[in-house]
Structure 1
Amino acid sequence: MSKPPFKLVSAVAMATLLAGCSTVRAVNDERAEALAAESVPPVPDQWTSVRERVGPVDVGWIAAFNDPVLTALVEEAQRNNRNLQAAAASVRRANAFARQAGAPLLPSVGLSADAARTEVFEGPGSGNRFGVGLQVSYEVDLWGRIAAGEAAAIASAQAAEADYIFAQYSIAASVARTYFLVIESREQADVAAGIVDALTEIVRIVNLRFRYGFASEYDTSLAEADLQSARDSLAAARNGEIEALRALEALVGRYPAGLLETAENLPGVPPPPGAGLPSQLLERRPDVIAAERDVAAALNSLSVARAARLPSLSLSTSVGGSSAQLENILDPVNLAWTLAGNLLAPIFQGGALDAQVDIAQADVDAAAAIYADTAINAFTEVESALDRGVFLRTRREALETSVARSRNALRLSNLQFGQGEIDLFDVLGTQQRVFGAESSLLAIKRAQLNQYVELSLALGGDWRNATPIAVEPEQ
């Protein structure tokens, strides 16, 4: 008696699996890398926006702020943010699809059992019938169609995982930016409160002078108008702080009660991070990696569509027994096996198979275009963030000088007012200039922190696993 047919089918299955699956994936992965590279314009050897800091891209850019509260909030968001949870579920779903797509590469085995009772109305013929069987079926992947389908699903799962990683980075960046907005809003409210206090005193003095005839009604009206404008600015600043707090609580997965505690002052800006090289960005940034994996998935789907136009070969075998007596069902006399093969070649499908190839080719072209757009967008974000860092440093230096000079001017104007050399409104104008410069400086400090976050995100650096940099908080 020859060897059981299911062993033969299994041997064929494993041979085809080993020969086909790895070859299809390797070929299409190489084609995906080549197609992605061709879709991107020539990349310079270094960033055009900056000539320094071309060292390795830093990791741990959240820890670089040396703010334990911020670090704890980012970690809380990673655990609780609903968008991240949805992205994680998408990764699990994509991996399950990949396992499902690869299942036909192995034989399908099933066990059947049946029992029947026959009764005749008259005469003999009544009796029982018991049967048991083992069925094995397998489609020989002659042209790599099934392997390509599995490879497409695996590439899609890899893209989903890369998207999930980039979503983690993006959530970390969003938490940091919102955290800085909360602190700046609070500090802006303090500046606005200082303006209100100063103007309240001005109104008191002007009303007192008006009572004794040393000021006009125009003076009192102008002072009161300035005070009410300052109160409006203070209310807006406090409302901005509450709204930012609620947004931050929502990001980390808390109820938006506006009760979250943060640091009192903005942290210092860490030193500019290493920017690496433009060519390395495409291999590191998760959203670019995801786009390249989408190209690979599309190419594998194209292979599936092309192979669908070719003949398919299916093998099946079964072993089973049938007997009127249950105890004799496995008696060799009652056992039988079969082996069958089925070759199916498509002849006419109304153009459906050719249309599927055209659809798959269009998907490849679209994926390549999306990859190019994603890569160019990544380059743009890095170049713009590098430029912004240079200009923000220049602006901050100018504003720090402006604040220092304005404060000195206010000191001198107070002395001149005390000696009667200038009017009270001259002092008020100088004081407003000081507050305006301080407010602008706060905005620039937050812009610099945001620029550091945006550059780190654009470079694709991980926000975890780094030693905190010693950075003094802003004064």
Structure 2
Amino acid sequence: MIRRTTRATLLPAGLVLGLAISGCASFSNTSGETSRLADTSLPPVPQRWAMARESVGTVHIGWIDAFDDPVLSALVVEAQANNRSLRATAAAVDRAYALLRQSRSQLYPSLDGTASAARSGPLEGGPTNTALTLGAQASWEVDVWGRVRSDVEAARQSARALEADYRFAQHSLAAAVARAYFITLEAGLQVGVAQDIVDALTEIDRIVRVRFANGYANAQDAALARTDLETARDSLLSAQLGERDAIRAFEVLLGRYPATELEFAATLPREPAPPEPGIPSQLLERRPDIIAAERRIASAIAGVDQAQAARLPQISLTGSLGGASNELSDLLDPVNVVWRLASNLLAPIFDGGRRQAQVDIATAAQEEAIANYADLALNAFSEVEGLLDAGQVLRQRRAALIASDRASDRALYIAQLRFDEGENELIDVLNIQQRVFGTRSSLVAIQRAVLTQYIDLSLALGGDWRTADAIAERE
């Protein structure tokens, strides 16, 4: 009885000791260390964007719906549902969280059941023997130094980094759809400009041929009019091919077969009000790709903790409970049931420098994550500054082209009147007409560029493409 009582008290005492040791173990909180390392990797960040001459209010969300174009909004939703690259990123996030659950399982004891049955005897006659066993085995590593918890933290931060990557992939896809939409619309408008040129030159060619037949124009004018008309037809064919290529690329982005079946109204949407850029420091807390880079620093810090803890002794507890008998009815008889409890200590003595190399690898990975974060953040700042600058220049260029378009229209009108009255040569009219249509083509391109700059800036600032209501509905 005394022996049995002594053994009965060993199991609770061992567990209490293990929990007490584990509770005293230090486990670093990586969030403060992550922020410190991330901040010190960057140069001083100003309180205002250098190129932000307008207000710097809060960055808004819903920059797709800001165009008030239901077709664009529907196409973005379609791409989010069908894009293969986005699906692959989503699967990577699911895998990362599954790995996190797998890693977290190490914090808890494992319990396995065992059962076996064997029968033996001589080949010719004689008695046979039956052996039956049934048992359970439990094991648990006492996480004294926080190795397992560091592994869990590294997995958690890696999963969160991939989740942020997925968010940024969603935003990037929305921006890509908008860009493709604008490019496709521009291609259609450029076809319209090319068709207008062909129509205008066709009329000029007709007039010149009539005048040549009546002796009012020479052969040079007739040849020049025909040359410009055929060149315009070539440009029209090229523009039509460009439109079809743009549609095919857009259909692939949407996850459709590239059959050039998309049709749109050949009108670019109105430009929304320029997005508020906020302040530079907020960009680090808002852009999903920068958030992902910061979480990778946190994961790398946990990786260093894990590698350092792996150099220290590991303590584990194991226990088993089972019975053995020749008869199934006696298998669970207390007389046949045996229990066993053991504790194990594994202390590294010599490993040829393997564990130290693992620490060095983890430390180098942490330095790499910090450098990648700094590089990404600086590029993000440069991207925003460049887009703010480009927005101002694009609007100035658009204003200049609008003025040029009005002036060239007036010049063409006067040149045609003078040509009809015999005061101008045909070459003068053709030159001015070329300027008119060239300006119109450039104006279409600059209007598309302004819309694209709005999209690129909104993406660079980290604002969500969805409205608050859409975010709440889908999440």
What is the match of residue 463 of structure 1? Answer: 465
- Change in Cα spacing, 1:3 to 1:283, as seen in structure 2 (3 Å) is farther
Q: When the two structures are superposed, what TM-score results if normalisation uses the length of structure 2?
A: 0.93
Provide the rounded CA distance (Å) in 2 between the counterparts of 1:171 and 1:442.
24
In 2, the alpha carbon distance for the partners of 1:298 and 1:141 equals: 20
Tell me how far apart the structure 1 counterparts of residues 233 and 127 of structure 2 sit (CA, whole Å).
Answer: 103
Q: CA RMSD in A?
A: 2.1
TM superposition shift of 1:465: 1.1
Q: Deviations over 1:76-100 (max 9, x none)?
A: 0000000000000000011111111
CA contact (8 A) 2:221 2:426 kept: no
Q: Distance in 2 between matches of 1:65 and 1:231?
A: 34
Judged with a 3 Å threshold, the aligned counterparts in structure 2 of structure 1 residues 7 and 174 are, in CA distance, closer, same or farther, namely farther
Paired residues, what number? 465
Residue in 1 that maps onto 2:323: 321
- Aligned counterparts of 1:146 and 1:123: Cα–Cα separation in 2: 57
**Aligned AA (1:292):** E
Alpha-carbon distance between aligned partners in 2 of 1:139 and 1:55, rounded to the nearest angstrom:
53
In structure 1, C-alpha distance between the alignment counterparts of 2:292 and 2:387, rounded to whole Å: 22
State the distance in 2 between where 1:56 and 1:264 align.
34
SS of the residue 2:241 aligns to: helix
1: distance between equivalents of 2:175 and 2:352?
A: 52
Distance 1:17 1:415 in 2: 96
Matched, 1:133 2:135: yes
| Change beyond 3 A, Cα 1:3–1:358 | same
Match of 1:188 in 2: 190
What CA distance in whole angstroms lies between the structure 2 residues aligned with 1:194 and 1:335?
96
Share of identical aligned residues, percent? 53
- Partners of 2:455 and 2:18 in 1: CA distance: 52
Counterpart AA for 1:319: L
- 1:246 match: 248
Corresponding position: 1:106 with 2:111: no
Of the candidates 275, 282, 286, which is equivalent to residue 284 of structure 1?
Answer: 286
Q: Which residue does 2:211 correspond to in 1?
A: 209
Is structure 2 residue 428 aligned with structure 1 residue 426?
yes
Q: What letter is aligned with 2:163? A: E
1:312 aligns with 2:314: yes
Question: Letter of the aligned partner of 1:208 in structure 2?
Answer: V
Q: Report the equivalent of 2:153.
A: 151
Q: 1:347 to 1:444 in 2, by over 3 A?
A: same
Corresponding residue to 1:166 among 161, 165, 168 = 168
The 10-residue stretch of structure 1 (406-415 or 170-179) with the greater mean CA deviation from structure 2: 406-415
Asked if 1:448 is matched to 2:450, the reply is yes
Distance 1:393 1:467 in 2: 32
Residue 27 of structure 1, CA deviation: 1.8
Q: Which residue of 1 aligns with 2:59?
A: 57
The CA deviation at 1:330 is 1.2
Consecutive unaligned residues of structure 1, counting only runs of 5 or more, are 469-475
1:423–1:254 Cα change, 3 Å: same
What is the DSSP-based 3-state SS (H/G/I as helix, E as strand, rest coil) of the residue aligned with 1:362? helix
> What residue number does 1:263 align with?
265
Q: C-alpha distance in 1, partners of 2:375/2:106?
A: 36
Decide whether aligned partners of structure 1 residues 119 and 413 sit closer, same or farther in structure 2, where only a CA change above 3 A counts: same
The one-character-per-residue Cα deviations of 1:274-328 (angstroms, maximum 9, x if unpaired) are: 1111000000100000001111111111111111111111110111111121111
Alpha-carbon separation, structure 2, partners of 1:466 and 1:415: 58
- C-alpha change, 1:185 and 1:349, in structure 2 (3 Å) is same
2:235 partner amino acid: S
Q: Secondary structure at the match of 1:322?
A: strand
Tell me: CA distance 1:426–1:123, structure 2 relative to 1, closer, same or farther (3 Å). closer
Query: Which residue number in structure 2 is paired with residue 471 of structure 1?
Result: none
Note closer, same or farther for the CA distance 1:39–1:191 as it changes in structure 2 (3 Å cut).
same
Q: What is the letter of the counterpart of residue 465 of structure 1? A: T
Aligned match of 1:379 = 381
Cα distance in 2 between the residues matched to 1:14 and 1:280: 42
Change in 2 beyond 3 A, CA 1:16/1:221: farther
Task: Quote the offset at 1:220 in angstroms.
Answer: 2.5
Query: 1 CA distance for matches of 2:37 and 2:353?
Result: 28
| Whole-Å separation in 1 of the counterparts to 2:76 and 2:135 | 58
Structure 2 residue aligned with 1:119:
121
TM-score (norm 1): 0.93
Deviation of residue 30 (structure 1)? 1.9
In the aligned structure 2, how far is the partner of 1:396 from the partner of 1:298? Answer: 48
Q: CA 1:123 to 1:175, structure 2 compared with 1: closer, same or farther past 3 Å?
A: closer
Residues of 1 paired with 2:469 and 2:321: CA distance?
65
* Structure 1 residues 403-414: aligned runs within 5 Å: 403-414=405-416
Point out the more displaced range, 295-304 or 54-63: 295-304
Distance 1:228 1:17 in 2: 85
User: Match of 1:41, SS?
Assistant: coil
8 Å Cα contact 1:53/1:272 also seen in 2:
no
Deviation at 1:121, TM superposition (A): 6.0
Q: Distance in 2 between matches of 1:467 and 1:115?
A: 62
Q: In structure 2, list runs of 5 or more residues that go unmatched.
A: 471-475
Pairwise CA distance, 1:222: 2.2
Contact 1:9 1:138 survives alignment (8 Å): no
C-alpha separation in 2, matches of 1:184 and 1:17: 65
Instruction: Please give the secondary structure, in 2, of the residue aligned with 1:422.
Output: coil
The verdict on how the C-alpha distance between 1:467 and 1:236 changes in structure 2, with shifts beyond 3 A counting, is farther
- Select between 126-135 and 86-95 the one with higher mean Cα deviation: 126-135
SS at match of 1:130: strand
Distance in structure 1 (CA, Å) of the matches to 2:115 and 2:12: 21
Which of 96, 99, 105 is the aligned partner of 1:97? Answer: 99
Matches within 5 A, 1:22-101: 24=27, 27-101=29-103
1:401 Cα deviation after fit? 0.6
Residues 154-209 of structure 1 show CA distances to partners (whole Å, capped at 9, x for unaligned) of 11100100000000000000000000011111011101101011111222222333
Instruction: Give, as a single letter, the amino acid of the residue that structure 2 aligns with 1:439.
Output: S
